[in-house]
């Protein structure tokens, strides 16, 4: 079986690269740059290498790097973003800080090459970088960005490429074609990898880890990640699954009833714990969102500890951690912490449970495919992603119960309008955000100073990149009018139109 090794420099999209390669039916696996010696890589017998992006600058002291000898391994190499810059530096080129390119960027193909077979002369790609290759080594420039930066090059007489943009994200429309060109035209690989047996592999892995008589606690929220995790655990250990649904008071309107009904449809009967008041008291008045995340994560652990104390045979905690959670939390070697996820490396040791994370290497769309294979109802599979800390991360500034209720009601309105117009499943995520800022309004011919609500609706496939949804103006108008009419404390509704990057999807 042909294999591609992705060397990870801590980039948010490193695992996405590996996944795109698997989608092309070529097996791929990820190796952190700290373990990417030529000797180690040779034991893996790759037919090609891909060097990922990363948050560092290649010219800084201590920046992530690899042994230059890997460039002599006689296999095709593709450097992406940071990898593109690193290859140039290792071969004698020069990298400098530029003005940066973020999001949709136009490039021009200036030299024909098999890598760009099927591309137009000008194409939009997805950029996310500040540094750029100021001087290429002994290489031919293949593409230039609209800002004059080197967008792609090929090393002379060697199948070593660098691209400054991210072909692995869906917002580079012909990115998958570029990866296939690299895999099949340049590296000559065969599309023989299949993922149909992934469910069986994950179930067997859980069985192998969980000892006889040991129970597994699964925190279910009603979302696809935790539901799929619970379904996998149930298939692996049967009635030794202990599903727990904790209401932390930060759920959407009507969500408790909806979650319990959906879990029942999926064959999961959870223990329901209403801990809303204890959670809300803990975060009341807390302004820092990272602190709120920490408090909520710790309180979840305390609730789980109380469950475990009643049943000492519970030895494991299974979580619906996905790869975006891992990357954003900085749990990957070389990755920067963007925001903490309480289900990533944040469980206190006093909880005393071993952790299962069967979805840790997967993205949301892959989890959804698993869920469908497990027979989970589509109502669960296609629910919009919802953060573990709930609506707490959609309140900016000091947390108050008034702002919580505003966000809860406004988010319900957003979802209702989208469902009414058949748009809910066509977007990735849709919700409302409220902060401390206020806007002078006029209601009933009287001055009214109210909150500003920001509506955030995005399109995405994996949450690693996202673009704002271009909704019909009539739909946007209906959302705004309903929010200002039905929520007296609101006088202004805005619409967030910033992509990810540079913004994240959730506000904090």
294 and 180, same structural domain?
no
Decide if 500 is inside a domain.
no
Decide if 389 is inside a domain.
no
Distance of alpha carbon 45 from alpha carbon 446, whole angstroms: 74
323 and 255, same structural domain?
yes
Decide if 377 is inside a domain.
yes
State residue 209's pLDDT score: 96
Decide if 486 is inside a domain.
yes
Quick check: 341 pLDDT over 50?
Answer: no
Question: Percentage of residues in the chain with pLDDT exceeding 90?
Answer: 75
Distance from chain centroid for Cα 203: 23
pLDDT, mean of residues 254-270: 90
CA dihedral 316→8→503→60, nearest 10 degrees, is 130
490 and 373, same structural domain?
no
Domain count, the chain: 3
Give the domain CATH number at 285.
Answer: 3.40.50.620
Distance separating the N- and C-terminal Cα atoms of the chain: 43
Tokens of 50: 């891909």
State residue 156's pLDDT score: 94
Decide if 167 is inside a domain.
yes
Give the closest residue to 85 by CA, choosing from 124, 119, 59, 112: 59
pLDDT digits (tens, 9 = 90+) for 207-245: 999 999 999 999 998 889 999 999 999 999 999 999 999
Listed residues 319, 348, 381: the one ending a domain? 381
* Cross-strand partners of 492: 452
488 and 448, same structural domain?
yes
Distance of alpha carbon 153 from alpha carbon 173, whole angstroms: 19
State residue 1's pLDDT score: 74
Q: Please report which confidence band the pLDDT of residue 200 belongs to, taking 50, 70 and 90 as the band edges.
A: confident
135 and 76, same structural domain?
yes
Q: Please report which confidence band the pLDDT of residue 367 belongs to, taking 50, 70 and 90 as the band edges.
A: confident
Q: Please report which confidence band the pLDDT of residue 196 belongs to, taking 50, 70 and 90 as the band edges.
A: low
Give the domain CATH number at 467.
Answer: 3.30.300.10
Which residues are catalytically annotated?
Answer: 81, 166, 168
Listed residues 134, 156, 186: the one ending a domain? 186
174 and 76, same structural domain?
yes
State residue 364's pLDDT score: 80
Tokens of 483: 């929010």
Domain that holds residue 143: 3-186
pLDDT digits (tens, 9 = 90+) for 87-138: 999 999 999 999 999 999 999 999 999 999 999 999 999 999 999 999 999 9
Q: Angle, to 10 degrees, between the axis of helix 198-209 and the axis of helix 364-373? A: 90
Quick check: 174 pLDDT over 80?
Answer: yes
Give the closest residue to 433 by CA, choosing from 385, 492, 383, 388: 492
Decide if 371 is inside a domain.
yes
Average pLDDT value for the chain = 91
Give the closest residue to 428 by CA, choosing from 368, 339, 493: 368
Listed residues 381, 411, 443: the one ending a domain? 381
pLDDT digits (tens, 9 = 90+) for 55-95: 899 999 999 999 999 999 999 999 999 999 999 999 999 99
Quick check: 345 pLDDT over 70?
Answer: no
User: Which letter does DSSP use for residue 59 in this model?
Assistant: T
3-state secondary structure of 314: strand
Enter the pTM of the model: 0.70
State residue 379's pLDDT score: 84
Please state, as a whole number, how many other Cβ atoms lie within 10 Å of the Cβ of residue 96.
Answer: 13
């Amino acid at each position: 079986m042909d294999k591609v090794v992705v060397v990870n420099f801590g980039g948010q999209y490193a695992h996405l690269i590996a996944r795109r390669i698997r989608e092309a039916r070529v097996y791929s696996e990820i190796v952190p740059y700290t373990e990417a010696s030529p000797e180690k890589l040779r034991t893996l017998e790759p037919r090609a290498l891909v060097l990922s992006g990363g948050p560092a600058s290649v010219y800084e002291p201590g920046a992530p790097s690899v042994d230059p000898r890997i460039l002599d391994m006689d296999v095709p190499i593709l450097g992406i973003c940071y990898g593109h810059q690193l290859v140039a530096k290792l071969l004698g080129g020069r990298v400098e800080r530029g003005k940066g390119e973020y999001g949709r960027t136009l490039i021009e193909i200036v030299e024909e090459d098999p890598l760009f077979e099927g591309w137009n002369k000008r194409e939009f790609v997805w950029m996310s970088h500040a540094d750029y290759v100021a001087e290429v080594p002994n290489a031919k420039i293949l593409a230039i960005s609209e800002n004059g930066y080197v967008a792609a090059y090929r090393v002379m007489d060697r199948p070593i490429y660098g691209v400054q943009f991210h072909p692995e994200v869906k917002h580079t429309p012909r990115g998958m074609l570029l990866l296939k060109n690299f895999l099949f035209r340049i590296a000559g690989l065969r599309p023989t990898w299949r993922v149909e047996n992934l469910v069986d592999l994950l179930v067997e892995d859980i069985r192998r880890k969980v000892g006889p008589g040991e129970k597994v606690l699964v925190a279910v929220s009603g979302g696809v990640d935790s539901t799929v995790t619970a379904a996998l655990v149930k298939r692996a250990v049967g009635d030794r699954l202990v599903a727990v649904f904790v209401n932390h008071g930060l759920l959407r309107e009507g969500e408790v009833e909806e979650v319990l009904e959906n879990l029942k449809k999926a064959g999961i009967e959870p223990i329901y714990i209403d801990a809303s008041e204890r959670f809300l008291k803990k975060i009341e008045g807390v302004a820092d969102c990272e602190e709120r995340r920490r408090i909520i994560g710790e309180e979840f652990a305390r609730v789980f500890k109380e469950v475990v104390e009643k049943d000492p045979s519970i030895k494991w905690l299974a979580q619906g951690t996905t790869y975006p959670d891992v990357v954003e939390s900085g749990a990957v070697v070389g990755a920067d912490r963007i925001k903490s996820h309480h289900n990533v490396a944040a469980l206190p040791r006093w909880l005393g449970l071993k952790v299962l994370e069967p979805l840790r290497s997967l993205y949301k769309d892959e989890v959804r495919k698993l869920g469908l294979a497990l027979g989970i109802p589509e109502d669960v599979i296609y629910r919009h992603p919802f953060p573990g800390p709930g609506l707490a991360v959609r309140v900016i500034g000091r947390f108050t119960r008034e702002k919580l209720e505003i966000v809860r009601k406004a988010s319900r309105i957003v979802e209702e309008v989208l469902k009414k117009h058949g748009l809910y499943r066509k977007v990735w995520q849709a919700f409302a955000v409220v902060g401390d800022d206020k806007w002078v309004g006029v209601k009933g011919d009287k001055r009214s100073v109210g909150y500003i609500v920001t509506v955030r609706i995005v399109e995405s496939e994996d949450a690693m990149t996202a673009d704002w949804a271009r909704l019909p103006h009539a739909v946007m108008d209906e959302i705004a009018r309903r929010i200002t009419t039905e929520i007296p404390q609101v006088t202004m509704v805005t619409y967030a139109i910033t992509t990810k990057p540079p913004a994240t999807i959730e506000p904090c």
